[in-house]
Structure 1
Amino acid sequence: MRGKWPTGVGRALPALLAALLAALLTGCRQTSGAAEPGAPPGGTPTRPSGHGAVFLGVGECSSFGTTSFTEVPCTGERAAARVIARHDGGPDDGPLCPPAADFVLHIGAQPAAGGEGVIPRGYACMRNLQPPHPGDPGGGGGPRTVVGDCVHGAGRGAVRETACDGSGKRKPEYQVVRAVRSRAQCPASTALYVRLGGEEPVGCARKL
């Protein structure tokens, strides 16, 4: 009997091997087609609502915070402000924020979500979802001074914004009434020139 299979096994062996091979192939197909947690079948993982490919991209929202901010869905209860403009680099070297911006978020370089790539250093121009809006004309704040804003002297030829309605810590002393390209274009009643930046960098302010 040496070198021979028991009676009946020799005929059954090819069928057993074929069945085993079919089972292994089926298992491989199921494994390769399985969806990752949070992913639709046959697709890539979905991102939670309010999160995009760019951290705090235009139209996305941030949470409340004093020292740090988190990207959150705009419809969530934690949402505080929306990105209305987003730029790489620093605000001193990049484009100005839109006049409606209430504040600027500085974004340091950091690893992207999932460890794929790096989020470059940049800044996001933010607009509060609810009032107050310090960036509005006369609101007393915002990342830039615009026509309608009020300022007070801060010493050494500098000025700072304050609310035109007097609700700020300092009372308004001047109000910007016009933006022009050069001082020569300001009206004769101008009492103070305020640096605005942009295409019309000179603000003509009258004394209150």
Structure 2
Amino acid sequence: MTLGVVLVVGFGASQVLKDEDTGASSSPGPGASSSSGASDPSGSEESRSWEKGDCGGPDPEKGSDSYRMFDCDESGATFKALEIMDGSFMPESVQCPAGTDLIIEVSISYGGSEAGGIPTETVCGRNLSDDHPGDAGAGGGQLVEGDCVDAKAQEIACASAGSADHKVLGLVKEKSECPAGTTAPIELMFAIGRPFDVICGGKV
């Protein structure tokens, strides 16, 4: 059995990562990642499922792109799970709570496969440091109201936004649903599971 992780760290960004045991794997990026999937009779930390409040961080023993669970007071811990949600084959359909800096899709593969896998849970994580790209306007995490995007609908930090960029006033299905103040509704290409199809852009 092999654990895999899809790390979603921003609007439209994702990475797929693997691990060789039932405990850890993940990847870096604007955020971090980690995983632990199926439960194990031994009850070891690395084999159990994630729970709200768990912490994780890089696992140098498995490579620069791997992560594992840590006690939150250990020096290796870099993020805490704000929420644990169901796994999904459609990562964009998962909406983590406000303040989420990184999103981890934990999956299990059987037979030693290094590709694919069955999603089992989603970890919504927040950095333990003062660096929070998932906060509104900070330029990372999931797209939320208060963020900023460029003309190509790519999330950017509001502090670096220019006159051609827009502030997100709403995320809706139809342009007619955009709130007052919207000057540039941006219609997105269809994406299965995404809860919105239009970014309501206004002045930054």
- Per-residue deviation, 1:52: 8.3
| Contact 1:109 1:122 (C-alpha < 8 Å) held by counterparts | no
Inter-partner Cα distance in structure 2 for 1:130 and 1:121 = 27
Residues 40-189 of structure 1 correspond to what in structure 2 (within 5 A)?
51=45, 54-64=48-58, 67-86=65-84, 87-92=86-91, 95-109=94-108, 121-142=120-141, 144-154=142-152, 159-166=153-160, 173-180=165-172, 182-186=174-178, 187=180, 189=182
Inter-partner Cα distance in structure 2 for 1:85 and 1:68 = 21
Question: What letter is aligned with 1:176?
Answer: V
Question: What letter is aligned with 1:191?
Answer: A
Inter-partner Cα distance in structure 2 for 1:165 and 1:123 = 30
Structure 1 pair 85–131 and aligned structure 2 pair: CA distance change class (3 A): same
Structure 2 residue 188 is matched with structure 1 residue 192: no
More helix per residue: 1
Q: How many residues align?
A: 146
Inter-partner Cα distance in structure 2 for 1:194 and 1:123 = 27
| Contact 1:190 1:205 (C-alpha < 8 Å) held by counterparts | yes
- Per-residue deviation, 1:120: 5.9
- Per-residue deviation, 1:207: 3.9
Inter-partner Cα distance in structure 1 for 2:92 and 2:201 = 26
Structure-2-length-normalised TM-score = 0.58
Structure 1 pair 91–70 and aligned structure 2 pair: CA distance change class (3 A): farther
| Contact 2:106 2:120 (C-alpha < 8 Å) held by counterparts | yes
Gaps of 5+ in 1: 1-43, 112-118
Inter-partner Cα distance in structure 2 for 1:64 and 1:75 = 15
Root mean square deviation, CA, Å: 3.3
| Contact 2:105 2:119 (C-alpha < 8 Å) held by counterparts | no
Inter-partner Cα distance in structure 2 for 1:106 and 1:45 = 24
Relative contact order, higher structure (CA 8 A, sep 6+):
2
Identity across the alignment (%): 26
| Contact 2:175 2:185 (C-alpha < 8 Å) held by counterparts | no
Larger radius of gyration: 1
Structure-1-length-normalised TM-score = 0.57
